[in-house]
A and B are shown apart, each in its own frame.
Chain A
Amino acid sequence: MVNFIQYLISGLSAGSLYALVALGVVLIYRSTRILNFAHGDMATMGTFFAFSLLSWRFPFYLALPLSLLFGALLAVAFYFSIIVPAQRRDATMLGQITLTVGLSMIFQGAMVYLWGTDSKMLSFPLSDTKTWNLGPIYLNELSLGTLIVGILGSVLLYLLIQKTRLGLAMKATSENLPAAQTLGIPTRTILAASWGLAALLGVVAGLFLAPALILDPFFMLEPFLKGFAGAILGGMNSLPGAIIGGLLIGIIENLCGGYISLEFKNTVPFIIIIIVLLFKHEGLLGKEFKERI
């Protein structure tokens, strides 16, 4: 029983990071209907930027917001310079996905060029060796921090979307773009803000994953795919779904890793993706866009 709770807690902790990645993917999909394959690479760029800042002796509380800003700026720049011209020329879904694939390759090449391929350690104020005990359960400081940040991030996003006017504008834009434009909502700004916000969430996830997984240009590939799986499980269209999906993926993955085998742990998210897509492709909470013929 103790094992079960242990797996549950570590699953929640990993899951909250997947939830952040999933939130980013869903934000972009909801607003611009694009599946962003470069999301993991955007997060990695932000994390590497933080690494550079930290190695230039910037204090952590300064490096963190700066790298978040960097990630967001990258996303916004990409949006304005590439996506807007593409949409102006009526790019198809395949075309837009190809654009994000292209961006992903550019980022990967840039990262290898700027920072090399060997692994780096990100100096992080929360260590993963200091552990606390809650009864029989061990919780290391990093996991606790991850859990808190993940929950905090999700709650803040929820408040943003539900309670502020910006959130209302985002909902309106994603539901019906021409109508929102008619109402005077500056849709291009809103969409750029969605991209920036999504990248920001991704960088947060990257920063918290980097101390545990060693930092190298490809370290976000698996968490990105698992975040993807979480987004699909919860429904590509629904933000609460992304949170739930991410958490579930984290929990299920850890339970399977604990009870079945450790090698199996990595295949679980893909199996989940395939099962969800075969049976109910909108996911748990998703509603799909209606296709007009």
Chain B
Amino acid sequence: MTVVALLLLPWFGSEHLIYMGTLIFIVSVGIMGQNILIGYTGQISLGQAGFLAIGAFSFGHMAQMGVPIGLALLGAGCMAAFFGVLVGFPSLRLKGPYLAIVTLGFGIAVYQTFASFEVLSGGRMGLVIPKFPALFGLTREASMYYFSLFMGIAFTLVTYNLISSYIGRAFVAIRDNDIAAEVLGVNLTRYKLLSFAISSFYTGIHGAMFAMFMGFIDPQMFNFSESLIIFVAVVIGGLASVEGAIFGAAFVILVPQVFSGYRELVPVIFGVTVIFIMIFEPLGLAGRWFKMRLYYRNWPFR
């Protein structure tokens, strides 16, 4: 039923609603990717903005060179995945705080590289990206909405598939105790790097779609605060759940909208919610949703 509602949205919804919906689905792809890395494989990564930037700028350059959109998206994802593997190599040796710091350093290094080298990023003026073409007589915004809805659903299905396969179980094994996983025959090198590659691919696609949506990107959009916001979205949505990605994306996009009168308080709300979730509801918003459904299903037995 929700799917039908989402499909019909552009006819009933205002333009603002379409804008929000599109953004939520775009961001949820990226959050899903990071969820695979942080929630399912248990590796800490704070450099998301770097992958976003790589995806966005690769897409931008390819689109400007005339590459068709589908191919450019794929290319952006692969570039991001390549760098993801690079960042994944330290993860083979480092744990916990050290891994967080390396990924942090990577994110900042990427941001500074893009900010300093004008040829890559169009410098201060940023890069202009061609937007998604209007299809089938719909408006531009509506076609972008359907495209991102389609991508969101496609990636969700792929993720479900991934999680229930051997690869997904290997990831979870690595998270729970990687030495034990290795003892049981999970090739740590291959699966850790695969996890980084897959999650960076998702994030690269997120970056590319975001670029397409905005029509314009510049390095400032991918700074450290952006990394933190994505990290927060993953945690708030729910660390090891696919639906959690959508919840988290919706949260980080809707909250600034709802509180637009009190812009300064938005980080405070994020921070408080993160702390709340970590202490009281480790499964995140998705966990809370799941528990509510369970409550209603079992009522009146509680």
Contacts and interface: CB of A to CB of B under 8 A. Distances in A.
Q: Which of B93, B98, B101 has the most CB of A within 10 A?
A: B101
A266 B112 CA distance: 9
A221 B104 CA distance: 13
B106 to A, nearest CB: 8
B285 interface: no
A65 interface: no
A102 B274 contact: yes
B94 A281 contact: yes
A140 interface: no
B268 A267 contact: no
Interface stretch (A48-56, A81-89, A168-176, A201-209): A81-89
B268 A270 contact: no
Interface string A101-144: 11111111110110000000000000000000000000000000
Interface string B83-106: 000000010011111101110111
Nearest to B272: A106
Interface residues of B, number: 43
Interface string B62-87: 00000000000000000000000000
A109 B268 contact: yes
B38 A105 contact: no
A270 B90 contact: no
Interface stretch (A178-186, A187-195, A271-279): A271-279
A91 B282 CA distance: 9
Nearest to A112: B264
Interface in B18-69: 38, 42, 44
Interface in A228-256: 228, 232, 236
Contacts of A89: 279
A101 B97 contact: no
A273 B97 CA distance: 13
Q: Which of B106, B232, B264 has the most CB of A within 10 A?
A: B264
A93 interface: yes
A2 interface: no
A98 B248 CA distance: 15
A104 B42 contact: no
A105 B109 contact: no
B264 A267 contact: no
Contacts of B98: 232, 277, 281
A106 B265 CA distance: 8
Given A105-B271, A270-B105, A293-B177, A277 B90 contact: yes
B221 to A, nearest CB: 16
B13 to A, nearest CB: 30
Given A221-B224, A236-B97, A277-B94, A109 B264 contact: yes
Interface of A: 29, 35, 82, 85-86, 89, 91, 93-95, 97-99, 101-110, 112-113, 221, 225, 228, 232, 236, 263, 266-267, 270, 273-274, 277-278, 281, 291, 293
Given A278-B90, A281-B94, A293-B180, 11 more contacts: A35-B96, A93-B44, A101-B232, A101-B271, A102-B232, A106-B268, A107-B271, A221-B224, A225-B108, A228-B101, A277-B90
Interface of B: 38, 42, 44, 90, 93-98, 100-102, 104-106, 108-109, 112, 116, 177, 179-180, 224, 228, 231-232, 235, 264-275, 278-279, 282
Ranked nearest first, the 8 interchain pairs of A and B with the lowest CB-CB distance are A109-B268, A106-B271, A105-B271, A109-B267, A102-B274, A35-B97, A113-B264, A102-B271
8 contacts: A35-B101, A99-B274, A263-B116, A267-B109, A274-B102, A281-B93, A281-B94, A293-B177
